[in-house]
Amino acid sequence: MPDRDIQLGLIGDNIAASRSPLLHRLVGQQNGLNVAYTRLVPPRLQQGFATVFDGCRNGGFRGINVTYPYKEKVVPMVTVDDPLVRGIGAVNTVIFTADGPKGHNTDYSGFVAAYRLVRRDAPAGAVCMIGTGGVGRAVAFGLVALGAPEIRLVDRDMAKAETLASDLRTAAPDTIITTHDSAALAGAEWAFDAVYTPADTQFLQDAAAQGLAVISGYELFIYQGVHAWALFSGNLPLNEPALRAKAFDRGERKFDLMQQLGTDLVLVCSTCHPASLGGIDPLYPRRQDIFRATGRCPADRNGPALLVAPLSQYAGRRRPARHRFHARRHRHGV
């Protein structure tokens, strides 16, 4: 691959806490590549999903990841060659090719890999699955691939559960598929939570306390990212142990930071706002509330690094008109 620069992105809502940008930058560094991975939130851009998607397709992006709530919306916009992914009806990875955008689902393959990492060859058994949206659909088809003899689908939106049930029955007629609006987990042997921020959720802690084998959503995150990278890069190698260690450590520190500061953060520049970001302004009475973050102000690449501060403390501070584009708001999400 002669091109050493790769432009990637993630389209979704509530993606401030996503570790996908970190994962892909790290694996790019392992291969001597400069990976730019941009978070794209349609409501914040004041654009519809289709407009943002077209901007990526026509803007030099190698590919994108797609997350909630767009995994199903993107399907009609791409060509899906894999019949299994067509059955899932959700796409989380898109590659822009000369023949048009191609859709893939690495949530599916990532879940299967995560299960086998923890459970090896142990049978899945009858499974109760709560949530039948985009990632839920991928996990359900993964359970079929793992040989689960029965899948009980639980969702407050029964129509969504019934739609998935119908698709599963078509793909796996020998699997017992039922739908429910509530769940009972008595007698369970293992538990999985698709949430990976934090990696050890309260649900998994409770499951482990009851003696269940637990599969963290972090494993799904790692494997879906590894499989997506293979698609983005054309199967360039990666060092998985090193990737795991760095992605987890940096990701957990970022999550802890967001928890300390609250759900709203803002990136502002100490060149454009030296008084407010010097650590002595009355707006920032506590120095521990100002944290250094990687990155430079795009208006002054040689200037001080960007700083992260609570949006509540920054509210009302007028930004110079020519620099407004580089102060951005983040909503904590998964």
Q: Which of 12, 100, 279, 325 is nearest to 313 (CA)?
A: 279
Q: State the catalytic residues.
A: 71
How does pLDDT run along the chain (334 residues), one tens digit per residue?
446 899 999 999 988 878 899 899 999 999 999 999 999 999 999 999 999 999 999 999 999 999 999 999 999 999 999 998 999 999 999 999 999 999 999 999 999 999 999 999 999 999 999 999 878 999 999 999 999 999 999 999 999 999 999 999 999 999 999 998 877 667 889 999 998 877 888 989 988 998 999 999 999 999 999 999 999 999 999 999 888 887 766 544 544 444 444 434 444 444 444 333 333 232 332 333 333 333 444 444 444 434 444 444 434 444 333 333 333 333 333 2
Give the H/E segment covering residue 151: strand 150-154
Tokens of 206: 């409770």
| Model confidence, pTM | 0.73
Q: Side-chain half-sphere of 235: how many Cα atoms within 13 Å?
A: 0
- CB-based contacts of 159, cutoff 8 Å, min separation 6: none
User: Which residues of the chain are in CATH 3.40.50.10860 domains?
Assistant: 5-103+221-248
Task: Tell me the CATH number for domain 5-103+221-248.
Answer: 3.40.50.10860
Q: Which CATH superfamily is domain 108-217 in?
A: NAD(P)-binding Rossmann-like Domain (3.40.50.720)
Question: Beta strand 291-296 with 305-310: parallel, antiparallel or unpaired?
Answer: antiparallel
User: Which residues of the chain are in CATH 3.40.50.720 domains?
Assistant: 108-217
DSSP state of 214: E
